[in-house]
Amino acid sequence: MVLRSVVVGVWIFVCYLSGTWGVCAEPQRPGPRPGDVYKEYVLHNRGNLAWRVTNPQARHPGAKEFLPNPILKLEIPGLAGALRAEVMLDRWGGHLDTTRPQIRFNGNDWLDVPPPKMDNQRNLPENYYFQDNPVIPVPLNHLKVGTNLIESMCSHVKKDGWGQWGLYSLVLRVYLDPASVRHLRGRIASPATGSGLKENPSIEVEVDESRVERVDIFAWYEGYDENGDGCFVDWHGGWFQFNRDQPAEWQSHVGTLRAPPFKTIWNTRWVPDQPSGAIRLVARIRDKSGTWFVTDEVTNLS
């Protein structure tokens, strides 16, 4: 794959700011993994309403316009067979000096919303503007069948400062025991593990086409940090609203397919050259009941 100098220039600059080359420890990272089966429950802002999260102790008159913080509602029709849960946000990092962003469900304990990966000995997230997709584990006992109430809050480096961040969209993933729910299975049929990739390779997913609603394909490689987590060696893609009145969607990933044939061309124009065998592929398949399944990875791609 052709190395693009403009990508390298931006990449080095961002890495210099963060004090790291953005290699994240994968085994500890949240998110769907091969073999996982799960449901997603999504809440979109769809406008300029109720998305600001403000320090409750802020004294500025402008801050008081957004207090008390909104309480959002999310419907969960069932939790049978649930193993674990997590929530992913489309977050605006907020005003400078905003600290301790948190979220909670149904009045339970506050859960910290993690910052992007940084060298915190020199750089702190409250010193930067950013947009990211933080993922927060949610204890199952914080959730319930029916209407779930979601609250968020934050602080400021000054006790009464105008701390504020933005919660544009969220998706709650509830991971299920695969034996407890009927689900599709599938695989990436091409390329095969160990293959060499040319520019703009063809990616094909093999699945029961009559039952599929959507397929999302992701690639692991070293490149631009689309989801803002500070990891450059990562599964690439970001989940953001294109505009405030639109739902968040995946972008900058390999591709999303909604109808057969489940085959796409991966546009690798902005993917730098990679070490031999460093690229991996995975697909997430959603059936017509809304249940997701994660395929095995295709690995050792060059």
**31 within 8 A of 171, measured Cβ to Cβ:** no
Q: Where are the domains of the chain?
A: 5-28+182-301, 37-178
Q: Which residue has the higher pLDDT, 201 or 27?
A: 201
Q: Quickly state the pLDDT bin for 24 (edges 50, 70, 90).
A: low
Looking at domain 5-28+182-301, does it have CATH number 3.90.1150.10? no
Task: Report the share of the chain in percent with pLDDT over 70.
Answer: 88
Q: Find the largest Cα–Cα distance for the chain.
A: 60
pLDDT of residue 54: 98
pLDDT of residue 277: 97
The pLDDT tens digits for 66-92 are 999 999 999 999 999 999 999 999 999
| Residue 162 to residue 97: CA distance in whole angstroms | 8
Q: Quickly state the pLDDT bin for 8 (edges 50, 70, 90).
A: very low
Q: Quickly state the pLDDT bin for 13 (edges 50, 70, 90).
A: very low
Helix, strand and coil content of the chain, in percent to the nearest 5, comes to: 10, 40, 50
**239 within 8 A of 286, measured Cβ to Cβ:** no
Could you say which of 2.20.25.90, 3.90.1560.10, 3.90.180.10, 2.60.120.1200 is the CATH number of the domain covering 37-178?
2.60.120.1200
pTM to 2 decimal places: 0.90
Residue type, 221: Y
> Tokens standing for 237?
């893609």
